[in-house]
Amino acid sequence: MAHSLDILFTPFSSKKLDLANRIVMAPMTRFFSPDGVPGQNVADYYRRRVEGGTSLIITEGTVISDPVASPHPNVPHLYGEKALAGWANVVKAVHEAGGKIMPQIWHVGMARRANEAPNPELPNAGPSGVLHNRKKIAEPLTEQEIDDLVTAYADSARAAKEIGFDGVEVHGAHGYLVDQFFWEQMNLREDAYGGDMVKRTGFAARIVAAIREATGEDYPIVFRFSQWKQQDYDAKLAHTPEELADFLKPLAEAGVDIFHCSTRRYWEPEFEGSDLNLAGWTKKITGLPTITVGSVGLSKDMMSSFKGEDSGTRNIDDLGEKLENEEFDLVAVGRALIQDADWPNKVREGRMDELQDYSPKKLAELV
């Protein structure tokens, strides 16, 4: 084994969460839960990743109880008796294999394509009812509707704890509902939830605080955020470390335990004048543990995959060095783990020649 990668297989310990190693499965939507109910195939899929050496699964986005939360009828719910029983079975499978698991709690907001989604007759939910190009397609959320959404996030988190999930991740990234509040292009509000950067974190901070209240002091809350948006890959919430600090502080104060910093390539510095990536800066600013993500083990980023291109493998010695330097604490692996459930074990055993290219065309065949 290359010495610099040993660090990936050392235990992680923090105030509320201990893990066997540093490898986390990134949340990845699968559309395999008809009517929102995850079945045995979902349990088997995640169990295989734990058997392959992943220590923490963050599930695909699973939606809160709101009629316009989901993009598709086959995206799982995190509410309702049947879906929760399905998730309890997934949790059991992952625990039996010795892993930990957190659901990613999701609402797509204005990114919903009504014609593909449940309840197509209902308008999308968003901070100002506008798309990123400012086109208005719905009314802004009312304060009552915002209160109800916050409650729905907390209810899903409470249910997650009750069925044995080891924590929760709030999906605050990629231009979905929570991120739409962060992004000034889609948040034109002039009340407590809109205006400067701190006010634009108000909705997310309320969600985190409500989850904390519903799940107690000791329950791990991970918060995923990104600069990039699916509507605009060059978008940035923070242009400087100072702006990033303004963004992170209210979230940390609301009760986030771990930040999951979504980038397309983990090796890219976030701001000029330092090699630190987004997870590096976030750890430095907040003092909290962070998860890095983006093209681990692969030469092309997620967007090329969405365009249907294959991606080759990529050496990750630089990742080991960053971990050694304590730039961040955990590493989320996405497509490489879709492609190969045994990716962590192969890396641990130095079987690099067995790592495979990622082919999005084969997605449906990969189990």
Ligand X SMILES: Cc1cc2nc3c(=O)[nH]c(=O)nc-3n(C[C@H](O)[C@H](O)[C@H](O)COP(=O)(O)O)c2cc1C
Under the rule (CB under 6 A), what is the footprint of ligand X? 26-29, 60-61, 104, 171, 173-174, 224, 262, 293-296, 298, 302, 305, 333-336
Q: Which of 45, 176, 193, 266 is catalytic?
A: 176
- Residues with Cβ within 8 Å of residue 127, at least 6 apart in sequence: 109, 140, 141, 180, 181, 186, 187, 188, 189, 193, 194, 203
Residue 113 CB-density burial (10 A; 0-12 exposed, 13-18 middle, 19+ buried)? exposed
Q: How far is the CB of 23 from ligand X (least distance, A)?
A: 11
Residue nearest to ligand X (CB): 334
- Answer whether 260's CB lies under 8 Å from 293's CB: yes
Residue 129 or 170 with smaller CB distance to ligand X:
170
Tokens of 364: 């449906």
Q: How far is the CB of 333 from ligand X (least distance, A)?
A: 5
Q: How far is the CB of 157 from ligand X (least distance, A)?
A: 16
Residue 194 or 297 with smaller CB distance to ligand X:
297
Residue 49 or 224 with smaller CB distance to ligand X:
224
Residue 140 or 170 with smaller CB distance to ligand X:
170
Q: HEC string of 250-309?
A: HHHHHCCCEEEEECCCCCCCCCCCCCCCHHHHHHHHHCCCEEEECCCCECCCHHHHHCCC
DSSP 236: -
Q: How far is the CB of 26 from ligand X (least distance, A)?
A: 3
Assess whether 176 carries a catalytic annotation.
Answer: yes
Tokens of 150: 């916050």
Catalytic annotation, residues: 176
